[in-house]
Structure 1
Amino acid sequence: MPRRVSEADAIEAMLARGARPVEPFPGTQLPWKCLCLTCNEVSSPRYNDVINKGTGVCSKTCRSRKIAAKLLRDGAEACAIMLEWGWDPLVDYPGAGKGWPSRCIHCGVIKSKKLAHVQKGRAGCTNCAGRDVSDELARKTMTEADLEPLVEYPGSLQPWLCRCMRCGHVGTPTYAKVRTRGHQCWSCRSEKIANALRLDEEEAIASMLEKALDPLVPYPGSTDLPWKARCMKCETVLDPGPTLHNIRGSQGGCAACAERGIDPTKPGYLYLVVHDGYQALKWGIANIDQRLTQHVSQGWKLVARWNFDLTRDAWAFERQIKAWVRGQGVPKALTADQMKYGGHTETAYLADIDLALVQAYIVSLTSRDPEPPQAT
């Protein structure tokens, strides 16, 4: 049976190890508040840990000093380690855990490296590995792929607003995808797909009739060109008519009969609205005024609208606005349940970002002033 430790013996043992108890002895297994006689700070070691396990009596300044002393390296030794791993230090050793400005001995780039990371092999040169991308290098890569950047380089995996130098379309490819796959353009890709889907006139007419559309003019020769037709359900004459690309997809035929969605090949607009109740703003794109009417019916008010000849251009700007807002750490404001007609991912609280700042950014991004707000 272990011997019971008296309070007097316990106090004597703690004093011998450099600490004076400042409260009655609670027992061998409980924290015991003591004053360190070295640094004069109070900590709470356990008697059993101090006596049987050899832990120190002070967990404050004295412990920190012991750890620092254990990690302390001679400056010459630290430099030798850095050089061994390919880094030439530019200043004296700053100490463990601190960034140490050093030059890569292979490519000459200067980086701030921690000695501990270098020793563990986790501080290789990202420039030598080809992972460092400057704005200048990224722009050169995009230009060589026939893409003209319209904003600063956002990062290799972020959408980058660019204009296609082949067709003029404004899109948001990523640097990483362009670097690995070359030219990236939604419009050029759609043209390739349209050519691949090109039909002869008999097949084309059959596709129109399948959607209850009676062609009124000969087949225009391309799946991407409008085809004037009459709806066989409501007798509406569609001029310009739908394209075969859309007919053979999921968009249906007659716009008067079908539920309307966004057609990227038709005129559209980018809009900015606010909601006083939610204290939030929202940006979005649409083909039809009904979209704004839906939002107004839910308490939103139109702030500004920018018209585009092609909705796909408006979509590219919408995507860039989202990347810019989220890039400033601003989260979405609303949930899908709060947005009856969708679009909650393009929202932000007015407390998080200024409305005038967002509108000014859109003006600078699109290089055009908004249309005067109209009643919806």
Structure 2
Amino acid sequence: MRSVGLEPLEPYPGSMEHWRCRHGSCGREVKARYSNVKRGVGICRWCAPNAPVDPEAAAALMRSVGLMPLEPYPGTDFPWRCRCGACGTEATPTHGSIKGGQGGCGPCGRRKAGEGISRAWGRRRTLPRKDGDQAETEVRGHELEPLTPYPGPAELWKCRHTGCGRQVEIRLKNLRIGLRACPYCPAVEGGRRRWPADEAEELMRAAGLQPLEPYSGRRQRPWRCHCTGCGRETAPSLGGILAGQGGCRHCADVHATEARKVDPAVAAADMRAAGLEALDPYTTSMTPWRCRCTTCGREVTPTLTKIRTGGGCRFCASHGFDLTAPARVYVMHHHRHNAVKVGIGGTAGRNERVNHHRRAGWALAQDWHFTTGAEAHAVEQAVLQQLRLAGHRPYLSAEVMPNGWTETFDADLITTTALAAFVEAHIERLAAGEVNPVPEQRILRPERWGTGAARRQPPLKGRVRKGRGAGTGQLSLFDQEQSSDLAGVELAATRKLGDSQDG
């Protein structure tokens, strides 16, 4: 043992047992087997080529590169939590990587690498280019006159195009692969080109548009402008103006409407051919036109579109609801759907509707008879208008009730008794002359029914009709003062019904 530098520290334990000794070269205490020493191996583990790392020496190595260990030494190939003394960032390098010369802190390493790259590029920029003369000769072959020193093949180079006289910025490498030298000049006759800002603004002004912002350089991008015709703000694109499109949508719609407008003389002739004499000047084909029927002498307000599709005087019509025959207003209830309905119908013949609804499961709650259908129609429309203003929307859909779905309401919100009270209140108004039987008036469209509470009301699944109107050319029957009066009538009728029920 002494011949290999080991001094025994205890009696000989046997050839195969560990023998405590001290190595004279490193001074460390080791445990060696006599059998291994005789073969020349296992003398000192700390002096072997694959000797373990001393934790103190490993920590000293980490501190030497500016890393402060935060935990005991885990091993040479395991991440070791340390804190960088330069930036304070916590890092997890390995002892082996630090021993191999790598940096331990990632942010510091990237910063040093960036500084090195910047210094390299800085030195490159300061070096004088030796190919400037050759590059200038090359760009002059493309009708370009350099305005600044040659920056390099990949950098923007300010030049002047001798063909159009405009200043451009080109890259020499783009010219070498075949791209055109001036973007403002088309490659071929009649081809596309980039429009300069001054020329683009002149084009917009020629189209009646005053630009409100600088030209972006993209012909298909919207460009905020002020229309000098109607004064509105619009956002056409330069490409649309170049294609011959109008810049202002409102002015285009007005011009299209004027182009489609029917000649007033032709419109009046169409009315006379249908037996109607116009009482007001012609406006549009979709606007109600006040006329007088030459057959019955009554005043009606059809549209020119309806007349051209076969319509005429509603009082003289042989189909639909008869406004001159006796009629009635009815209130019905459907128990299975939990719905109520108000409507009008004739007492017999083609206008009779109560029996039709009865076959669909409706039960008649009450009805009121009138001399003419015009009076019944006026009362029905007044009741519906009051309900719409109160926020009530149609309850059933057209799939559930194809005929009359717009006149149905939720029985939990309004009962047949309250609905009947509304009808009687408007009958009194009709008798007092406050409601005029004008058959051409209609309630509001479904998409405009009510505001506030009506729009916040949650729809009923499978019952609310979506995306369909319930009439055309519709006008309000009452103004705001009359609507407030109707609210008082509704309150009085409700109190009257409550007193009768208590009695």
Say yes or no: TM over 0.5.
no
Greater length-normalized contact order (CA 8 Å, ≥ 6 residues apart) = 1
After TM superposition, the score normalised by the length of structure 1 is 0.40
Largest Rg, 1 or 2: 2
TM-score by length of 2: 0.32
